[in-house]
């Protein structure tokens, strides 16, 4: 794995994946601000709650990446199969291409992946419901930790990538960079939800984001093939 460019690519995947975050997380951002006193929902007073929520969400992504990467590292050490990491990178690249198709609304096969993840989410979701309506920074942070496990084809695709890293550290850093890439869109969504939703749901915007993510996936596959 070419570390520097991989982390940059992970950040860009998170950034372009913002078109998906609008539909997936827009309602959650609304729930976050719903219970706040009116004086706290104005501009700069809302920022601490958005920051607490989103940093906790990114922390959940990072922890998931560390676990996935660590499990992969231990497993590969045990089975000692040649080139298996490169095969995993190819699988990750394929998932990124599927993600691009999903973002562009050309083929929504990742919906089935999200449905599979909903089995775990059904057990986690009730914990978040007890925190609503959000009235404190502690509640916002805890809610972010929980909602970081929301079934999401975008997140799952990058987790496959973290699996291919075969390292707890690299898997965690990969998911951290991805999470930071999602940060601008979700922070802005918390402040300008209605206008951003219209922008990201434009067909041209979804297609552009989808094509870019597919290109990233193609590059990862090419790198893996060249490494054999």
Dump pLDDT digits (tens) for 150-175: 878 888 889 999 998 889 999 999 99
At residue 79, φ and ψ (nearest 5 deg) are -90, -25
> pTM value?
0.82
> Please, are residues 177 and 62 in contact by the beta-carbon 8 Å criterion?
no
CA atoms within 13 A on the CB side of 20: 29
Confidence class for position 128, pLDDT limits 50, 70, 90: confident
Q: What is the pLDDT of residues 172-193, one digit of tens each?
A: 999 999 999 988 877 777 666 5
Query: Cα–Cα–Cα angle for 112, 118, 122, nearest 5°?
Result: 165
> Please, are residues 190 and 46 in contact by the beta-carbon 8 Å criterion?
yes
Mean pLDDT score, 17-39: 62
Contacts of 140 (CB under 8 A, 6+ apart): 32, 49, 50, 52, 53, 56, 134
Return the pLDDT at 129.
73
């Amino acid at each position: 794995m070419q570390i520097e460019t991989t982390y940059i690519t992970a950040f860009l995947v998170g950034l372009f994946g913002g078109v998906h975050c609008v539909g997936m997380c827009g309602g959650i951002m609304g729930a976050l601000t719903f219970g706040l006193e009116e004086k706290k929902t104005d501009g700069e007073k809302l920022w601490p709650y958005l920051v607490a929520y989103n940093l906790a969400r990114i922390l959940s992504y990072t922890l998931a990446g560390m676990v996935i990467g660590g499990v992969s590292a231990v497993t590969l050490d045990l089975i000692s199969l040649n080139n298996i990491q490169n095969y995993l990178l190819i699988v990750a690249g394929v998932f990124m291409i599927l993600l691009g198709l999903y973002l562009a609304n050309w083929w929504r096969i990742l919906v089935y992946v999200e449905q599979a993840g909903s089995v775990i989410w059904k057990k986690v979701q009730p914990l978040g419901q007890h925190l609503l309506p959000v009235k404190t920074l502690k509640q916002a942070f805890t809610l972010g930790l929980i909602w970081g496990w929301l079934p999401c084809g975008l997140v799952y695709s990058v987790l496959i990538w973290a699996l291919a890293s075969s390292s707890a550290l690299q898997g965690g850093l990969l998911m951290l960079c991805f999470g930071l890439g999602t940060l601008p869109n979700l922070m802005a969504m918390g402040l300008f939800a209605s206008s951003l939703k219209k922008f990201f749901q434009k067909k041209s915007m979804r297609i552009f984001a989808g094509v870019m993510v597919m290109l990233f996936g193609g590059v990862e596959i090419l790198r893996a093939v060249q490494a054999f």
